[in-house]
Amino acid sequence: MLIKIMDILAGLKMTIVSGIFLLCAVMCMVSGIESPIDPAWGAVIISGIPLFYLALYRLIFEKWVSSALLITIAMVASLVIGEIFAAAEVAWIMVLGALLEDWTVERAKKGLKNLIELTPQTARLICNENGKKQEKIISVDEIKIDDVLRVLPGEKIPVDGIVIDGDSSIDQSVITGESLPVDKSDGDEVFCGTLNMYGVLDIKTTSLSENSSLQKLIDLVKQGDEKQAPTQRIADKWATWLVPVALIIAAAAWVATGNIERGVTVLVVFCPCALILATPTAVMAAIGQATKHGILIKSGEALENLGELNTITFDKTGTLTYGDLKVSDIIPTGDFIENEVLAIASAVENLSEHPLAKAIADKAIDENIAVEKVSNFKMYPGRGVFGINSKGKIYAGNLNYIKENFEISDKTNTYLDNLNSEGKAIIIVGLNNQVIGIIALSDVIREESQSVVENLHELGVKTVILTGDNVKTANYFAKQVGISEVHGNLLPNEKLQWVEKFKKSENKVCMVGDGVNDAPALKTANVSVAMGSIGSDIAIDAADIALLGDDIEKIPYLKRLSNSTLFTIKFNIALSMMINAIAIICSVLGLLNPVTGAIVHNAGSCLVVLNAALLYDRNFDKNRIHSHYHYHDDGKHAHSHENVEILGEIHTSEGVKHIHSHRHSLKFKSHCSKL
């Protein structure tokens, strides 16, 4: 009950009432009107009582000498010498500063709260009743695995699932941070909480509501406030020892000058409100800023560590690359052309479950190549496959398997050496008595990987690859993206050991990965980043930061954001200490009284909070996508802009309304661009 009363008194409405009392006191002083009861007492009671309660509670029950205690002492001292207005002002402005901090934090957390509010409560279940398909509205709690659900345009996807019928565009921005809608059709994955924009979709449930991708995000959100940032902890310690220091200086000023008012003024201006507000407001604003960009930062500590890092270690597969093998080369070595080699190889690979075989079969489908069925199919695990059709006896497999049946020419060996140097997987195709071709497969580098590495180097960050792939493959990909230091053939514990080795060399290390094998290294690094979409649950749990849309282009953004956050924290701390130091000197000299001292001090606190809040809306991206609508009466869609993509169109009576986007570079002239 008492806590509820304190919450009410310290709330916005009562703070406004307290401010009205304070304003009335000012009007009485200015007009010379004498009131039987000073209106400032209203502010003292409303704003001072919660402050007094908080100070005593922390001191008695938490054994914590907090800033609230120093402010309470200043308030009581002001009352003792008859400075009611000063006491009221100290209490009111402190409560106002706390509300301002709460406003900043809540504003910063808006994106996080939206995640929690996104969970749909109902779903359209497709069921058979009396031999007919019918729609039935059910609670999301009633949904079972493999249930078929229908999602209409404008509705949110109720659970994670796979599209089994229909085509549409999905707004996935709440999950991935993507600015543009994503096209979905049969076989595509959809996520809980995302918005179906156009067509009707039937989806098959793959996870229940409590295990959905959105719920996992919500669970991560709840972890966001569990850790305090190191700078924040330092500020708290400062607040603890500042109390006795303030009392000593205030007593000395009183004794030296014989004026108790100067001692009280010292107490008023010595309150470390701005110092304590400096870090949490900046951290929460930065976390909120990152959330808008599809990045989930679990703690302020991770954010600060990111600002101090000088080394980033990358996993390769699924991080710098997409993690999917694709056919990259088809090299005929006999009398057949490329498509014929692919058709012959696909005839036997179609029947294999091996990932390389599937990639070859998919390539044939993509090229619309007719594939003849085979008989007498045989699979030799770890080696290759065999089959017979009208072309003859078909062999497809690794070098050792092919050598058992064919002579390998010098020309073929040269091709193999070149492909091996590029780190590609190789399938050799033989027909009857000759090798007819080579099919090479390779992981695909993310388009943005090279620019990410370049941006990190510009920021003074060393980049390293730690991968389980062989060294040749790793070196090939490293060369493509501009990374010079590579360590391959690593087991999970060896990745961890390399991270520890870098840390022992006085490096601040960030690990970026996506798989289960990356989890130990992610846990060991000073700060870690996981690919939130394709990454394993274990990797995401182990990491401090999750990229919800697998956009590694956000890593340089994170570094710039963290650098700017640290700069803001240090600037705010320096500003608050400077204001306090000047105010203390002025108080001792008699240039400030309790009333004016309170104004100066608390104005500094408000300035610190507002400066931190600016982080939330500041732009740290070098590239931005923006979209807008255009109307054309003639129905033409031509544009002179560069890099313009037409996203969709709607025919209206006013003409054709279509949306397009373009990407452009942003250059910053402020200090943020250098951080």
Q: Which residues are catalytic?
A: 315
* Cα–Cα distance, 547 to 308 (Å, whole number): 20
Burial letters for 465-501: b for 16+ Cβ neighbours within 10 Å, e otherwise? bbbbbeeebbbbbbebbebeebbbebeeeebbbbbee
For the chain, the maximum distance between any two Cα atoms, rounded to a whole number of angstroms, is: 114
Q: In the block, which residue shows the tokens 């908080």?
A: 54
- Cα of first residue to Cα of last residue in the chain, in angstroms, is 49
CA dist 281 and 291 (Å) reads 15
> Which one, of 158, 251, 246, 248, lies nearest residue 202 by Cα?
158
Contact 260, 250 (CB under 8 A): no
If you search the block for the tokens 């780190």, which residue do you land on?
423
Cβ pair 178, 295 in contact under 8 A: no
CA 99/CA 382 separation, integer angstroms: 66
CA pseudo-torsion sign 291, 296, 298, 301: negative
Distance CA 374, CA 394 (A): 9
CA-nearest of 300, 231, 290 to 527 is: 300
SS3 337: coil
Residue 313: phi and psi, rounded to 5, are -105, 130
Structure tokens at 538: 């274990």
The SS3 of residue 495 is helix
Q: 658 with 635: CB under 8 angstroms?
A: no
Nearest CA-CA partner of 519 in 476, 466, 570: 466
Residues 6+ apart with CB under 8 A from 567: 671, 675
Cα 511 to Cα 490: distance, rounded to the nearest angstrom: 15
Angle (deg, nearest 10), helices 471-481 and 410-421: 60
- What amino acid occupies position 310? N
Count H helices, E strands: the chain?
24, 25
Question: In this structure, are residues 383 and 417 in contact, taking their beta carbons and an 8 Å threshold?
Answer: no
Distance in angstroms (rounded) separating the CA atoms of residues 492 and 467: 9
Token pair 């849309």 is found at 549
What is the rounded distance in angstroms from the CA atom of residue 598 to the CA atom of residue 264? Answer: 11
Alpha-carbon distance 137 to 295, whole Å? 34
